[in-house]
Structure 1
Protein backbone atom coordinates (compact mmCIF):
# COMPACT_ATOMS: atom_id res chain seq x y z
CA UNK A 1 0.00 0.00 0.00
CA UNK A 2 1.56 3.26 -1.12
CA UNK A 3 0.53 6.44 0.68
CA UNK A 4 0.53 9.88 -0.90
CA UNK A 5 1.97 12.44 1.50
CA UNK A 6 1.65 16.20 0.95
CA UNK A 7 4.76 18.04 2.18
CA UNK A 8 3.61 21.45 3.39
CA UNK A 9 6.12 24.11 4.24
CA UNK A 10 8.48 26.71 2.96
CA UNK A 11 10.20 26.22 -0.37
CA UNK A 12 13.47 28.00 0.34
CA UNK A 13 15.65 25.08 1.34
CA UNK A 14 16.13 21.39 0.58
CA UNK A 15 14.09 19.81 3.41
CA UNK A 16 11.74 17.94 1.03
CA UNK A 17 14.59 16.19 -0.78
CA UNK A 18 16.17 15.32 2.56
CA UNK A 19 12.90 13.81 3.82
CA UNK A 20 12.32 11.91 0.56
CA UNK A 21 15.83 10.44 0.73
CA UNK A 22 15.32 9.35 4.34
CA UNK A 23 12.00 7.70 3.36
CA UNK A 24 13.74 5.94 0.45
CA UNK A 25 16.49 4.68 2.76
CA UNK A 26 13.80 3.26 5.08
CA UNK A 27 12.14 1.67 2.04
CA UNK A 28 8.81 3.29 2.92
CA UNK A 29 6.18 3.04 0.15
CA UNK A 30 5.42 6.75 0.04
CA UNK A 31 4.64 9.07 -2.85
CA UNK A 32 5.27 12.75 -2.12
CA UNK A 33 3.51 15.83 -3.47
CA UNK A 34 3.65 19.44 -2.38
CA UNK A 35 3.65 23.06 -3.42
CA UNK A 36 5.41 24.33 -6.51
CA UNK A 37 9.05 24.40 -5.43
CA UNK A 38 10.20 26.61 -8.30
CA UNK A 39 9.67 30.00 -6.65
CA UNK A 40 9.83 31.92 -9.93
CA UNK A 41 7.23 29.61 -11.52
CA UNK A 42 4.97 29.98 -8.48
CA UNK A 43 5.24 33.77 -8.56
CA UNK A 44 4.67 33.98 -12.35
CA UNK A 45 1.93 31.37 -12.85
CA UNK A 46 -0.89 33.93 -12.79
CA UNK A 47 0.58 35.94 -15.63
CA UNK A 48 1.74 32.80 -17.45
CA UNK A 49 -1.87 31.63 -17.65
CA UNK A 50 -3.97 34.80 -17.45
CA UNK A 51 -1.65 37.25 -19.15
CA UNK A 52 0.04 40.39 -17.93
CA UNK A 53 -1.61 41.94 -14.88
CA UNK A 54 -1.98 45.71 -14.33
CA UNK A 55 0.16 45.81 -11.18
CA UNK A 56 1.97 43.68 -8.60
CA UNK A 57 -1.12 43.33 -6.39
CA UNK A 58 -3.12 41.81 -9.24
CA UNK A 59 -0.10 39.73 -10.28
CA UNK A 60 0.19 38.26 -6.78
CA UNK A 61 -3.57 37.72 -6.56
CA UNK A 62 -3.66 35.85 -9.89
CA UNK A 63 -0.72 33.64 -8.88
CA UNK A 64 -2.19 33.03 -5.44
CA UNK A 65 -5.53 31.79 -6.78
CA UNK A 66 -3.83 29.29 -9.08
CA UNK A 67 -1.36 28.15 -6.41
CA UNK A 68 -4.24 27.74 -3.93
CA UNK A 69 -6.14 25.67 -6.50
CA UNK A 70 -3.11 23.42 -7.03
CA UNK A 71 -2.62 23.02 -3.29
CA UNK A 72 -6.25 22.11 -2.66
CA UNK A 73 -6.28 19.46 -5.41
CA UNK A 74 -3.08 17.86 -4.12
CA UNK A 75 -4.18 18.04 -0.49
CA UNK A 76 -7.48 16.37 -1.32
CA UNK A 77 -5.69 13.53 -3.12
CA UNK A 78 -3.23 13.02 -0.26
CA UNK A 79 -3.53 10.35 2.41
CA UNK A 80 -1.56 12.36 4.96
CA UNK A 81 0.18 15.71 5.38
CA UNK A 82 3.52 16.60 6.90
CA UNK A 83 3.80 20.31 7.73
CA UNK A 84 7.29 21.48 8.58
CA UNK A 85 7.87 24.70 10.51
CA UNK A 86 11.48 25.77 10.61
CA UNK A 87 13.45 28.48 12.36
CA UNK A 88 14.58 30.53 9.40
CA UNK A 89 11.70 31.45 7.06
CA UNK A 90 8.25 32.98 7.41
CA UNK A 91 5.75 30.19 7.83
CA UNK A 92 2.52 31.61 6.35
CA UNK A 93 2.16 28.95 3.65
CA UNK A 94 2.90 26.15 6.09
CA UNK A 95 0.22 27.39 8.50
CA UNK A 96 -2.32 27.77 5.70
CA UNK A 97 -1.62 24.28 4.32
CA UNK A 98 -1.79 22.73 7.80
CA UNK A 99 -5.10 24.47 8.46
CA UNK A 100 -6.45 23.30 5.11
CA UNK A 101 -5.40 19.74 5.90
CA UNK A 102 -7.29 19.94 9.20
CA UNK A 103 -10.40 21.28 7.45
CA UNK A 104 -10.19 18.45 4.90
CA UNK A 105 -9.81 15.89 7.71
CA UNK A 106 -6.42 14.82 6.40
CA UNK A 107 -4.15 13.19 8.98
CA UNK A 108 -1.55 15.80 9.89
CA UNK A 109 1.96 15.41 11.27
CA UNK A 110 3.33 18.75 12.41
CA UNK A 111 7.11 19.15 12.62
CA UNK A 112 8.19 22.09 14.71
CA UNK A 113 11.30 22.88 16.73
CA UNK A 114 11.08 23.38 20.47
CA UNK A 115 11.50 27.15 20.00
CA UNK A 116 8.11 27.27 18.20
CA UNK A 117 6.09 25.30 20.76
CA UNK A 118 4.38 28.41 22.13
CA UNK A 119 3.50 30.20 18.86
CA UNK A 120 2.22 26.94 17.33
CA UNK A 121 0.38 25.57 20.36
CA UNK A 122 -3.13 25.84 18.87
CA UNK A 123 -2.13 24.34 15.54
CA UNK A 124 -0.14 21.62 17.26
CA UNK A 125 -3.18 20.79 19.38
CA UNK A 126 -5.23 20.24 16.19
CA UNK A 127 -2.59 18.10 14.44
CA UNK A 128 -2.83 14.33 14.82
CA UNK A 129 0.83 14.13 15.82
CA UNK A 130 3.42 16.79 16.63
CA UNK A 131 7.12 15.97 16.41
CA UNK A 132 10.41 17.85 16.41
CA UNK A 133 12.22 16.21 13.48
CA UNK A 134 11.76 14.71 10.03
CA UNK A 135 13.04 11.38 11.37
CA UNK A 136 10.27 11.32 13.96
CA UNK A 137 7.68 12.14 11.30
CA UNK A 138 8.90 9.26 9.14
CA UNK A 139 8.81 6.91 12.13
CA UNK A 140 5.13 7.83 12.59
CA UNK A 141 4.47 6.91 8.95
CA UNK A 142 6.59 3.75 9.21
CA UNK A 143 4.45 2.63 12.14
CA UNK A 144 1.47 2.37 9.75
CA UNK A 145 3.25 -0.51 7.98
CA UNK A 146 4.01 -2.59 11.08
Structure 2
Protein backbone atom coordinates (compact mmCIF):
# COMPACT_ATOMS: atom_id res chain seq x y z
CA UNK A 1 0.00 0.00 0.00
CA UNK A 2 1.41 3.35 -1.07
CA UNK A 3 0.25 6.39 0.91
CA UNK A 4 0.04 9.48 -1.31
CA UNK A 5 -0.75 13.01 -0.13
CA UNK A 6 -2.18 15.22 -2.90
CA UNK A 7 -1.18 18.80 -2.10
CA UNK A 8 -1.65 22.01 -4.01
CA UNK A 9 -4.26 23.87 -5.96
CA UNK A 10 -7.91 23.15 -5.28
CA UNK A 11 -9.59 24.77 -8.27
CA UNK A 12 -9.33 21.98 -10.86
CA UNK A 13 -10.05 18.24 -10.89
CA UNK A 14 -6.42 17.12 -11.14
CA UNK A 15 -6.76 14.94 -8.02
CA UNK A 16 -9.67 12.98 -9.52
CA UNK A 17 -7.75 12.57 -12.78
CA UNK A 18 -4.72 11.11 -10.96
CA UNK A 19 -6.89 8.82 -8.85
CA UNK A 20 -8.86 7.55 -11.86
CA UNK A 21 -5.65 6.84 -13.77
CA UNK A 22 -4.35 4.87 -10.76
CA UNK A 23 -7.44 2.65 -10.51
CA UNK A 24 -6.50 -0.85 -9.44
CA UNK A 25 -3.35 0.21 -7.61
CA UNK A 26 -3.08 -0.14 -3.85
CA UNK A 27 -2.93 3.55 -2.97
CA UNK A 28 -4.30 5.27 0.09
CA UNK A 29 -5.04 8.90 -0.81
CA UNK A 30 -5.13 11.92 1.48
CA UNK A 31 -5.38 15.64 0.75
CA UNK A 32 -6.22 19.00 2.23
CA UNK A 33 -9.84 20.11 2.42
CA UNK A 34 -10.64 21.14 -1.15
CA UNK A 35 -13.81 23.09 -0.38
CA UNK A 36 -12.28 26.58 -0.50
CA UNK A 37 -14.89 28.25 1.73
CA UNK A 38 -14.74 25.47 4.32
CA UNK A 39 -10.94 25.61 4.36
CA UNK A 40 -10.92 29.40 4.78
CA UNK A 41 -13.65 29.52 7.42
CA UNK A 42 -13.04 26.36 9.49
CA UNK A 43 -11.28 28.20 12.31
CA UNK A 44 -14.01 30.77 12.91
CA UNK A 45 -16.77 28.21 12.35
CA UNK A 46 -15.34 26.07 15.15
CA UNK A 47 -13.66 28.58 17.50
CA UNK A 48 -15.69 31.73 16.96
CA UNK A 49 -15.80 34.80 14.75
CA UNK A 50 -12.96 37.29 14.37
CA UNK A 51 -13.40 40.92 13.39
CA UNK A 52 -9.85 41.17 12.11
CA UNK A 53 -9.30 39.22 8.85
CA UNK A 54 -5.74 38.38 9.91
CA UNK A 55 -7.00 36.43 12.94
CA UNK A 56 -9.84 34.91 10.90
CA UNK A 57 -7.27 33.54 8.44
CA UNK A 58 -4.85 32.58 11.22
CA UNK A 59 -7.43 30.41 12.97
CA UNK A 60 -8.20 28.56 9.74
CA UNK A 61 -4.58 28.18 8.72
CA UNK A 62 -3.60 26.80 12.12
CA UNK A 63 -6.41 24.26 12.07
CA UNK A 64 -5.70 23.24 8.46
CA UNK A 65 -2.03 22.83 9.39
CA UNK A 66 -2.96 19.92 11.65
CA UNK A 67 -4.47 18.06 8.69
CA UNK A 68 -1.62 19.03 6.36
CA UNK A 69 1.16 18.03 8.75
CA UNK A 70 -0.54 14.75 9.53
CA UNK A 71 -0.97 14.01 5.82
CA UNK A 72 2.58 14.89 4.83
CA UNK A 73 4.22 13.16 7.80
CA UNK A 74 2.21 9.98 7.17
CA UNK A 75 2.63 9.78 3.40
CA UNK A 76 5.10 7.76 1.37
CA UNK A 77 4.98 10.24 -1.53
CA UNK A 78 3.87 13.86 -1.77
CA UNK A 79 2.33 14.98 -5.05
CA UNK A 80 2.14 18.77 -5.18
CA UNK A 81 0.29 20.60 -7.95
CA UNK A 82 0.91 24.21 -8.92
CA UNK A 83 -2.01 25.43 -11.01
CA UNK A 84 -2.34 28.48 -13.21
CA UNK A 85 -5.10 30.42 -11.43
CA UNK A 86 -3.43 31.42 -8.15
CA UNK A 87 0.01 31.57 -6.60
CA UNK A 88 0.02 28.52 -4.35
CA UNK A 89 2.28 29.62 -1.52
CA UNK A 90 0.82 26.84 0.60
CA UNK A 91 1.84 24.26 -2.01
CA UNK A 92 5.42 25.56 -1.97
CA UNK A 93 5.39 25.39 1.83
CA UNK A 94 4.10 21.79 1.69
CA UNK A 95 6.87 20.83 -0.74
CA UNK A 96 9.49 22.39 1.51
CA UNK A 97 8.09 20.64 4.56
CA UNK A 98 8.09 17.30 2.75
CA UNK A 99 11.65 17.88 1.55
CA UNK A 100 12.76 18.68 5.10
CA UNK A 101 11.21 15.38 6.23
CA UNK A 102 12.99 13.50 3.43
CA UNK A 103 9.73 12.55 1.71
CA UNK A 104 9.76 11.76 -2.01
CA UNK A 105 8.09 14.53 -4.01
CA UNK A 106 6.42 14.60 -7.40
CA UNK A 107 5.68 18.12 -8.66
CA UNK A 108 2.87 18.74 -11.13
CA UNK A 109 3.22 22.05 -12.94
CA UNK A 110 2.70 23.82 -16.23
CA UNK A 111 5.80 24.28 -18.42
CA UNK A 112 5.64 28.07 -18.10
CA UNK A 113 6.20 27.75 -14.33
CA UNK A 114 9.58 26.02 -14.65
CA UNK A 115 11.59 29.12 -13.80
CA UNK A 116 9.39 30.23 -10.90
CA UNK A 117 9.47 26.75 -9.37
CA UNK A 118 13.11 25.89 -10.04
CA UNK A 119 13.97 25.52 -6.34
CA UNK A 120 10.93 23.34 -5.67
CA UNK A 121 11.76 21.27 -8.77
CA UNK A 122 15.34 20.86 -7.59
CA UNK A 123 14.11 19.33 -4.32
CA UNK A 124 11.65 17.03 -6.11
CA UNK A 125 12.26 13.50 -7.30
CA UNK A 126 10.12 14.01 -10.39
CA UNK A 127 8.43 16.87 -12.25
CA UNK A 128 5.31 16.15 -14.30
CA UNK A 129 3.29 18.36 -16.63
CA UNK A 130 0.07 16.34 -16.63
CA UNK A 131 -1.95 14.36 -14.06
CA UNK A 132 -1.55 11.34 -16.33
CA UNK A 133 2.25 11.55 -15.99
CA UNK A 134 1.83 11.65 -12.21
CA UNK A 135 -0.31 8.52 -12.36
CA UNK A 136 2.22 6.74 -14.60
CA UNK A 137 5.00 7.67 -12.17
CA UNK A 138 3.02 6.34 -9.19
CA UNK A 139 2.22 3.14 -11.09
CA UNK A 140 5.92 2.67 -11.82
CA UNK A 141 6.93 3.37 -8.20
CA UNK A 142 4.38 0.89 -6.87
CA UNK A 143 4.70 -1.89 -9.46
CA UNK A 144 7.89 -1.33 -11.43
CA UNK A 145 5.83 -1.56 -14.63
CA UNK A 146 5.79 1.05 -17.37
Q: 2:10 corresponds to which residue?
A: 11
Q: 1:20 corresponds to which residue?
A: 19
Normalised to the residue count of structure 2, the TM-score between the two structures is 0.91
Task: Specify every segment of 5 or more residues in structure 1 that has no aligned partner in the other structure, as ranges.
Answer: none
Deviates more, 1:90-99 or 1:117-126: 90-99
Q: What's the Cα RMSD here?
A: 1.3
Task: Specify every segment of 5 or more residues in structure 2 that has no aligned partner in the other structure, as ranges.
Answer: none
**Alpha-carbon distance in structure 2 between the residues aligned to 1:30 and 1:79:** 10
Q: Is the 8 A contact 2:43 2:61 kept in 1?
A: yes
Q: 1:59 corresponds to which residue?
A: 56
2:122 is aligned with 1:125: yes
Q: Is the 8 A contact 2:18 2:134 kept in 1?
A: no
Deviations 1:99-141 (A, max 9, x none): 1111111110011221111111111011111122222222221
2:92 is aligned with 1:95: yes
Q: How many corresponding residue pairs?
A: 143
**Alpha-carbon distance in structure 1 between the residues aligned to 2:127 and 2:19:** 19
